Amino acid sequence: MRRDTRGFKEHLRRAGRGAGARLVLAVALALGSVATGLAGTAWADRGDGAVPDRLDQKAAAFRIWLPQALRGSAHAQFQLGATFLTGRSEPEDFAEAARWLKMSARQGNPRAQNGLGILYAKGLGVRRSFLEAYVWFDLAAERFEHGLRREQALELREMVRGFMSPEHLIEAGRAIEARKAGWE
């Protein structure tokens, strides 16, 4: 399931240049890569070679992940958030995606933390907050193994940083330490 983002990229390019437009484009591309990376994680192979339609995918996601998510599984909570984020819930429900991603992120799931950072940076399903986005990107980068996902989280964190005052950065540092302490 690959989303064609050429038209969206062109729209953003024409919409404006500068730091704000670059952040919007970077976050939009990251959101697209998160959604693309999530597509099929819950049901990549049903065993019969058939590709399920969206309704089948939604039903499968809930059948597979909801019982585990309700028992507190961070992985299952992430998968449900991904289901709402990628439109398998037809249409996307960013507020519900944020709710499930937040549950998973609070348990230390770096993919959920990164996804939540994107939602906060874009203001999708949550009130836009560069401070919250910075915190979640920082926490995700710390938990990701070295590699592309970690680099993406660090890059997004630094882009969001450009929109923050020194006071907000200090507040973000405190929030990061408080959340880390809560997980130990």
pLDDT in tens, 62-73: 888 999 999 999
Whole-number Å distance between alpha carbons of 41 and 144: 18
Cα distance between the two ends of the chain: 37
Tell me if residue 45 falls in helix, strand or coil: coil
Q: 10-residue block means of pLDDT along the chain (184 residues)?
A: 42 43 49 46 43 63 88 94 77 91 96 96 96 97 92 96 96 94 73
Report if residue 120 sits inside a domain: yes
What pLDDT was estimated at residue 92? 82
**SS3 assignment, position 125:** coil
Q: Does 41 reside within a domain?
A: yes
CA 60 vs CA 41, 53, 97: distances in Å: 11, 10, 17
What pLDDT score does 31 carry?
52
160 belongs to a structural domain: yes
Do 125 and 97 contact (CB within 8 A), yes or no? Answer: yes
Tally the domains of the chain: 1
Place of tokens 């993919």: 111
Tell me, yes or no, whether 106 lies in a domain. Answer: yes
Confidence at residue 182, expressed as pLDDT on a 0 to 100 scale: 80
pLDDT at 3: 41
- Residue 153 within a domain: yes
Residue 1 lies in a domain: no
pTM check: above 0.75: no
d(CA 40, CA 43) in angstroms, rounded, equals 5
Q: How far apart are CA 93 and CA 84, in angstroms?
A: 5
DSSP, collapsed to helix, strand or coil, labels residue 74 as helix
Is residue 39 one of the residues assigned to a domain? yes
Centre a 10 Å sphere on the Cβ of residue 37 and count the other Cβ atoms it contains. Answer: 14
Domain that holds residue 112: 6-183
pLDDT digit string, tens, across residues 47-101: 444 444 555 667 777 888 999 999 999 999 999 999 888 875 567 889 999 999 9
Q: Does the residue 34 lie in any domain?
A: yes
CATH number of the CATH domain containing 50:
1.25.40.10
